[in-house]
Amino acid sequence: MKPTGAARIAGVVGDPIAHSLSPSLMSAWIEAAGINAVYTPYRVESEQAEAFFRVLARTNCAGLNVTLPHKQTALAACDDASKAARAIGAANLLTFRDGRIHADNTDAAGFLNALRAGGVDPSRGPALILGAGGAARAILYALVEAGAPEIRLSNRSRANATAMAADLAPGARIHDWERRDEALAGAALIVNATSLGLSGSGDLVFDWSRAPADAVVADSVYKPLETGFLRDAAARGLKTIHGLGMLIGQARPSFKAFYGVSPPESVAAEDYLVSLLEASR
């Protein structure tokens, strides 16, 4: 169905945004569902983000997905928020109604869905999270809720990691970024929640010989699908999980929030996105 003036409008906002696969995925779901709707990417600088949210809330836009670096600003701009968004301190989903902004966070559930789809029990052992931004906060929240027995955190700013732990996991162990290899010992799950590796922005390097042979390594980055972080871990024989699972997991409830219907099962979301990534190489 071609969109008309009555189309239901939503989108995704970030900076950068050209790498995002969300418009392609959402558009594929819209086409398969046969609904009158559009989904648009918006690149907005940090200084303008809050004003952008408030202006768009007064238009016919149904809402926005929010990606780096605006997730904490999105929460600050809201009129009300879900329990998850408040606890995490960041929002990746904004819905608009009568000029008001409601914030939610579907990243946490999306991450857990990705782990479980990969046959990984998030409660089976110590987890190391790298980063302290919006994605890291969602992943930390998810692992605490899932019962991870030990949490380790490492971030370039130790102060930010300490603050995140105080909010969500007071018992977490903080490891200096320069000595992050030491946190691999005994870890069952290692997660990159930084933007390192995104579209060739620089790889996250580890001495994987320090990780247990049965450790699982996950990345929140999905472009490229195999980051240097995952490639090096796989070369060591470790199981890896790319970022598409988290992307798809958080996108499903967003689609329903925007358009009032669930994404059609006729779209094989991961296969579709993998094909797009391969075609763009």
Spatial neighbors of 37 by CB under 8 A, at least 6 apart, are: 3, 7, 8, 9, 10, 30, 258, 259
Among residues 2, 71, 83, 239, the one annotated as catalytic is 71
- What is the CB-side half-sphere exposure of residue 187 using CA atoms within 13 A? 26
- Reduced to 3 states (helix: H, G, I; strand: E, B; else coil), residue 236 is coil
Instruction: Look up residue 90 and give its amino acid.
Output: A
Q: State residue 155 phi and psi, 5-degree precision.
A: -150, 155
**What order do you get walking across the sheet with 61-66 strand by strand?**
37-43, 8-14, 61-66, 93-97, 100-104, 80-81
Contact assessment for residue 39 and residue 10, using Cβ atoms and an 8 Å cutoff: yes
Confirm whether 71 is a catalytic residue.
yes
Tokens 């919006």, located at residue: 134
Residue 191 to residue 180: CA distance in whole angstroms: 12
Q: How many angstroms separate the Cα of 171 from the Cα of each of 38, 45, 148, 151, 192?
A: 44, 35, 12, 8, 20
Residues designated catalytic: 71
